[in-house]
Amino acid sequence: MTTLADAPTRTSLADVSAAARTGVHAWVAAVAELTEPDAVVWCDGSDDERRALIAQMVGTGTLLPLDPTLRPGSYLARSDPDDVARVESRTFICSQDQSDAGPTNNWREPGAMRTELDEVLVGSMRGRTMYVVPFSMGPVGGPLSQIGVQVTDSPYVVVSMGVMTRVGTAVRELVEAGAPFVPAVHSLGMPLVDGATDVPWPCSTTKYIAHFPETREIWSFGSGYGGNALLGKKCFALRIASVMGRDEGWLAEHMLLIRLTAPTGRRYHVAAAFPSACGKTNLAMLRPTLPGWRVETIGDDIAWLRPGPDGTLRAINPEAGFFGVAPGTGEATNPAAIETLSHDTIFTNVALTPEGDVWWEGLTDEAPAHLTDWTGRPWTPDSPTPAAHPNSRFTVAAAQCPTIADGWDDPEGVALDAIVFGGRRATNVPLVAQAESWEHGVFMGATISSERTAAAEGLVGELRRDPFAMMPFCGYDMADHWEHWLEVGAALEHKPLVFQVNWFRKDESGQFIWPGFGENSRVLAWVVDQVDRSRGLRTDVGAVTSPVGLLPAPGALDTDGLDLSVDALAALFEVDRDSWALEADLTQEFFATFGDRVPPALHSRLAHLRAALDD
């Protein structure tokens, strides 16, 4: 007689999760038992390994070599047309308690999600190699750094992780010695059964990007693309790290990081949060038009901020590469990016020229007469669809950037002087405003928004909210994130100043008022002048008060040489009391969606805004 105890058992996903707690080798073995790959290979991040994987992918058609003279060491990947972007509808936060995920995340009960994932992951790597990628977010062993191990059946992901993170035996040794790591499982969800031939971009129609914040696990199934698959980026460095930061007293943020050097020679470090597609990479590589100023790049997408022993807020870029949007990147908008991409770059879903180089909308003013579009079809300027997918990307090492800052990868990070929040607002929000206090700065971050329709005039319409630019990336309740910001700031002896910027204000005819791009250096110059004033290094008057914060005093923002009329300048800073009263109502409605988790300090700031508008 057979009993239940004798019944054949297999390794379940829950077993894998339990194994992760006993050590990296037990965990890797358990993932292999669940997913049944043909082989398991530990990656060392070496050049030889990268070369071999690239050669293999050229063989399977996953990568197309670009012309070695025009674009040395570079490749084009074309994804499955249904696997081109992050899938927020399939991104889940599986906290024990639903309220910890908050109203802005898709929540699933952890046990139920483990069961669902278990069903799709059984045997999902059959016929494939499972790569084990030990990686560090931040310099290996640094005080602000964290370790992860990603297993994946995608060589494209291995090579991309080698660019975007620090992969290698140094990390492997740390995890083998028992250092805590974030276990991250990634499967394309397309087993190769019975000797079937592979396709260039395997993926599944079913997708899951699941996070278990309490156990710090990431499980990704069905997509090979970007933020769905390069699990160090949005999954670890934002969603899981934001929870680690909440628990350990630091912050994982969707922020670029730059060093600004003034003509005085003084250096300042600024972190800035903008929603996706608001020009973060351009700002991170800004070429100032103001004479004597210099901007150097430290990071373009993510910053980890931690109170330092000296009372400052220290910041690192946890990534090692850029995974940037190609369209709109050109010599005129971002020359540093163009130089960065001149070699050793993987392009995904851009167009191919007849000479074997790449092209995308915005790379040059005029499109080439003949191209192969991102789907592999012939394209001409008369074609009805774009040549490059709007979310086509480049993957490139940060060290290749001509504006990369000296010491950008210092494990100790940099001390922040200012934090900037930006949105894309056609109306209301001034070009720049300084927060009156840390609490006011948190209010600015919590209320980042863009108009749903780019209204050119009149009262604000419906606002698309993106608090802290973290809406799709915060691994816990957004209102708790605001509370955490308040707590971190309260304990800081030397708080960075906080600002709000808006490059996108429009006039009555719907034209942008501010020229943007390199001219944004003028705004940054005022920001750091205010830092100097706050330290007593300048005594001139820099700012005037307004209901929405401190605005540049007359003459304090350098607009010399700009084609900007007195009226246009006034329009950039106009605070319309009726529109702002309506905006305050919308903010109250927005806060109400978070119930009683909204910190009282933010309700007070809203009351303060209303009172100032009434004054």
Give contact residues for ligand OXD (rule: CB under 6 A).
Answer: 227, 276, 301
3-state secondary structure of 16: helix
Nearer to Mn ion, 237 or 416 (CB): 237
Q: What is the largest CA-CA distance in the chain?
A: 93
Nearer to ligand OXD, 160 or 428 (CB): 160
227 binds, among ligand OXD, Mn ion, none (CB under 5 to 8 A by kind): ligand OXD
d(CA 99, CA 595): 11
- List binders of Mn ion among 283-312 (CB under 5 A): 301
To Mn ion, the closest distance from the beta carbon of 277 in angstroms equals 9
To Mn ion, the closest distance from the beta carbon of 274 in angstroms equals 9
To ligand OXD, the closest distance from the beta carbon of 612 in angstroms equals 33
The CA-CA-CA angle for residues 162, 165, 169, to 5°, reads 70
Type of residue numbered 85: A
> How many Cβ atoms are within 10 Å of 224's Cβ, its own excluded?
30
To ligand OXD, the closest distance from the beta carbon of 411 in angstroms equals 24
Nearer to ligand OXD, 224 or 227 (CB): 227
Nearer to ligand OXD, 135 or 473 (CB): 473
36 binds, among ligand OXD, Mn ion, none (CB under 5 to 8 A by kind): none
To Mn ion, the closest distance from the beta carbon of 300 in angstroms equals 8
The one catalytic residue in 43, 94, 278, 474 is 278
83 binds, among Mn ion, ligand OXD, none (CB under 5 to 8 A by kind): none
- The DSSP bridge pattern shows strands 208-212 and 217-221 to be antiparallel
| Tokens 């948190």 -> residue | 442
The DSSP code for 94 is: -
To Mn ion, the closest distance from the beta carbon of 273 in angstroms equals 10
Q: How many residues does the chain have?
A: 615
519 binds, among Mn ion, ligand OXD, none (CB under 5 to 8 A by kind): none
To ligand OXD, the closest distance from the beta carbon of 475 in angstroms equals 15
The residue whose Cβ lies closest to Mn ion is: 301
In the sheet that holds 414-415, the strands lie side by side as 251-253, 303-307, 313-316, 414-415
To ligand OXD, the closest distance from the beta carbon of 234 in angstroms equals 7
Cβ neighbors of 78 (< 8 A, separation 6 or more) are 64, 200, 201, 348, 349, 374, 375, 376
Residue ranges with strand state E in 274-431: 294-299, 303-307, 313-316, 321-325, 346-348, 351-352, 358-359, 371-372, 378-379, 393-397, 414-415, 418-422
d(CA 242, CA 34): 29
583 binds, among Mn ion, ligand OXD, none (CB under 5 to 8 A by kind): none
The DSSP code for 104 is: T
The residue whose Cβ lies closest to ligand OXD is: 276
Looking from the CA of 144 toward its CB, the CA atoms found within 13 Å total 26
Type of residue numbered 265: G
Nearest residue to 242 via CA among 472, 419, 476, 469? 476
d(CA 141, CA 512): 46
Nearer to ligand OXD, 84 or 442 (CB): 84
Nearer to ligand OXD, 301 or 480 (CB): 301
Nearer to Mn ion, 100 or 301 (CB): 301
User: Percent helix, strand and coil across the chain, each rounded to 5?
Assistant: 30, 20, 45
Residue ranges with strand state E in 153-250: 166-167, 182-187, 208-212, 217-221
Give burial (CB, 10 Å; 0-12/13-18/19+) of 503.
buried
559 binds, among ligand OXD, Mn ion, none (CB under 5 to 8 A by kind): none
* Token pair of 438 as six digits: 């840390």
Q: Is 61 left (phi over 0), alpha (psi -120 to 50) or beta?
A: left
To ligand OXD, the closest distance from the beta carbon of 284 in angstroms equals 12
* Token pair of 242 as six digits: 């934001």
d(CA 486, CA 491): 9
Is the distance from CB of 599 to CB of 483 less than 8 angstroms? yes
- List binders of Mn ion among 122-151 (CB under 5 A): none
| Tokens 């191209």 -> residue | 371
d(CA 254, CA 233): 10
Does 278 participate in catalysis according to the annotation? Answer: yes
Active site residues: 278
Contacts with Mn ion, residue ranges (CB under 5 A): 301
